Amino acid sequence: MKQLSALDQHRKAYQPKLPAALRQGVDRVRIKTGSATEPVKDKEAIQTAFPKTYGMPLLSFETVAENLPSKPLKVGVVLSGGQAPGGHNVIAGVFDSIRAINKDSVLYGFSGGPGGLEKGQYEIIGTEKMDAFRNTGGFDIIGSGRTKLETTEQFDRCIEVINKLQLDAVVIIGGDDSNTNAAILAEYFLGKGLSTSVVGIPKTIDGDLKTAQIPTSFGFDTAVKTYSELIGNIARDARSACKYWHFIKLMGRSASHITLEAGLQTHANVALISEEIEEKKQSLDQVVETVCRSVKSRAAQGKDYGVVLVPEGLVEFIPSIKSLIAELNHLLAEKESEFAALDSTAKKITALGDWLKAENAATFKSLPSSIQAQLMLDRDPHGNVQVSLIETEKLLSEMVNAKLKKDADYKGKFSAQHHFFGYEGRAAAPSNFDADYCYGLGCVAAVLIRNGKTGYMASIRNLSKGIEQWEAGGIPITMLFNMESRHGKLKPVIQKALVELKGPAFLELVKHRAEWEIEDSYLFPGPIQYFGPSEICDAITKTLALEMG
C-alpha cells in the first residue's frame, strides 16, 4: 500500500469550499444567459475564423429549488502543458459533479496530454483512483503533454476516439495555447456536426491568462507562495551572513506577474519588471545600473548583501537584446548547416559576430561568453530562443560586478549567489485557495457540459470578496482572442495578459521601491498554511487583493 505523509493524509480529508450557486449541488444549477461578446480586437478576422462560436453570450449560474434530471454523461479530461497546483482538484470537481448529475456518468482520463486524445490513450477514472489524488499537487493522475492539435488530420483522429467512446464532452485543462486549441476544436466539431462539447479550464502559474472574467489562472497562488517562502528564507540568510547578493530568477517568460507578486510578498531589494523595462526602452546597461544603485546605497550603510528578483523572460523585453534574439533566430535558421559545421563554441561566436548587423553585433559582443553560448542553444519548436536556459541572473550579476569595479566611489564588497525557482512551485500541494478554486472550476465545467455548452471556458469571478461572494459561470473563449503572427502567418490566439503598469499591484511596488532598495524591509512569508485562522490559510495573493479591491 502506498504510504502517505501526515500532510497528505489530512489533505485527503479536506473538502473544498464552493461558490454559493454550486453549494446546493450541480444538479440544481440553472444557466442564465447574458450579453453577447466580442474579442479583444481583430473582430472581423476572429468572426471569419469562428463563424459558429463567435459572439456567444456570457453565462452565469443560479440555484433552483428542484433537481434538474440528466442522462448519464461521458466526459474526457486532458491535462495540457506544464504542471500547475490544483489540476487534480479540477478533475475531482468534474468527477464528483457528473456523478452527482447522474450516478452512471463516466470520466475518461486521456494520458499524456492532448496527444492522448488524438491517439485514444485513456483510462476510466474510478473512485479509488480519484480519491488518491484529491488536494494533491502535480499532474501525475494521468500525466500531461504539449502536443498541439492543429491539423484537420489530428482533429479527425480525435473525432474517431470521441465517437468510439460516445463522449458528451472533452475538458481541456491548460494555458492560453491549450485553450486556443479548445476553441478551435469546438469550432471544428460543430462544423462536422458533432454534438460533443469542448470546455476549457484556465491554468498557468505564470499568471498571464487572465481578464476581467478570469481574475487569475489556477496554480498562480500556490506557486508564488512557494517561491516567496524560499525568497524569504534567502533574504533572512542574506541578512544573517551579510556577505552575498542573491540573484533569483523566477518563472514567467511572457509576463512578470510572478516576480511582481513575489516582490510584494517579500519586499526584495530589487524586483525587475520586464514590462516596465520594455515600456521605458531601457538598455541592458540601464537595467544593470538599477541593481548597482541598490548595491551602492546599501554598501554605504555597511550592507554588502541583498536580494534581486529577475523574471525569466527579462532578456526578451530589453529592446537591444530583443532585436539581437530576433536576428539570431533568423540567422540560425537560415545558416543552419553552415553554423553546425563550425567545430567550436569560439568559432561559432566569432561567426555570429560577423554575420549580425552592426548594432546587434555590438550588443552580442558586449555579453559575457557564457551568455553568448547560451543564446546559440537549440531553439524551441517555434524556432525561438529558450529563455529558461539563459542564465539571466548570472548575466546581471557579472555585469553588475564589472560595473562596480570601474566605479571609484564604490568601496563595498560584492559577491553573488544565483538561484532559479521554477520546478519548485509547479507541482506543490495546492493552497486552500487553489484547492477551492480548482474544484469549483471542475464543477462549473460539469454544469456547462450538462447544458450542452461548447467553446466556453469555466470561470469563477469576484475572487477577492471571500468565497461567499464568488460567482460561477462561463465565458466564450473567442472573446479572449486576437490575431498574432505564428510561423509567419496571422493566427487567432488568446491574448497574453502582461503586468499592467497603471494597475494597482505594480503601483504598490513603485510606491515602496525606493525604500525596499535601501532598507532591510524583508518579509518572511513562511510555508503555505493549510490549517488555522482563515486570514492565514485562505489568504489570496497581494496582486488579486489589490487588483480587485
Helices of type H across 317-368:
319-334, 336-340, 345-355, 358-366
DSSP-derived secondary structure letter, 422:
S
Domain boundary assignment for the chain: 21-30+52-61+71-219+430-476, 220-426+503-548
Q: Tell me which CATH code domain 220-426+503-548 carries.
A: 3.40.50.460
Q: For residues 106 and 103, give the distance between their C-alpha atoms in angstroms, rounded to a whole number.
A: 9
Q: Measured at the alpha carbon of residue 416, what is the angle toward residues 395 and 509, in degrees to the nearest 5? A: 75
Q: Are 177 and 451 within 8 A, CB to CB?
A: no
Residue 207: what are its φ and ψ, rounded to 5°?
80, 10
Q: How far apart are the first and last CA of the chain?
A: 47
Give pLDDT tens digits for 156-211.
Answer: 999 999 999 999 999 999 999 999 999 999 999 999 999 999 999 999 999 999 99
The C-alpha atoms of residue 447 and residue 456 are separated, in whole angstroms, by 11
Q: Which CATH architecture has domain 21-30+52-61+71-219+430-476?
A: 3-Layer(aba) Sandwich (3.40)
β-partners of residue 490 are 485
For residue 476, which of 463, 492, 500, 488 has the smallest C-alpha distance? 492
SS3 sequence of 517-545: HHCCCCCCCCCCCCCCCHHHHCCCCHHHH
Work out whether the CA dihedral 406, 409, 412, 417 comes out positive or negative: negative
- Catalogue the long-range contacts made by 160-167 (C-beta closer than 8 Å, 24 or more residues apart): 160/120, 161/117, 161/118, 161/119, 161/120, 161/122, 162/76, 162/194, 162/196, 164/120, 165/74, 165/76, 165/108, 165/122, 166/74, 167/74, 167/75, 167/76, 167/108, 167/196
Distance CA 542, CA 261 (A): 6
pTM of the entire predicted model = 0.94
Look-up: residue for cell 500532510? Answer: 7
How many whole angstroms separate alpha carbon 186 and alpha carbon 158?
A: 12
Give the residue among 16, 113, 20, 56 at the shortest CA–CA distance from 472.
20
SS3 143: coil
Please, are residues 67 and 25 in contact by the beta-carbon 8 Å criterion? yes
What does the pLDDT read at residue 379?
66
CA atoms of 472 and 213, how far apart (whole Å)? 10
Are residues 84 and 429 in contact, defined by beta-carbon separation less than 8 angstroms?
no
* β 29-36/57-63 pair status: antiparallel
Closest CA to 38 of 478, 391, 467: 478
Q: What one-character-per-residue DSSP string does 145-203 give?
A: B-----SHHHHHHHHHHHHHHT-SEEEEEE-HHHHHHHHHHHHHHHHTT---EEEEEEB
Q: Which residues of the chain have pLDDT under 70?
A: 1-2, 378-385, 387, 487
Closest CA relative to residue 268, chosen from 305, 313, 318: 305
Domains 21-30+52-61+71-219+430-476 and 220-426+503-548 share a fold: yes
Residues annotated as catalytic are 206
Among residues 75, 71, 70, the alpha carbon closest in space to that of 92 is found at 75
**Rounded distance between C-alpha atoms, residue 471 and residue 461, angstroms:** 5
Biggest distance spanned by C-alpha atoms of the chain = 79
3-class secondary structure, 409? coil
Under DSSP, the state recorded for 107 is E
Give me the pLDDT at residue 383, please: 59
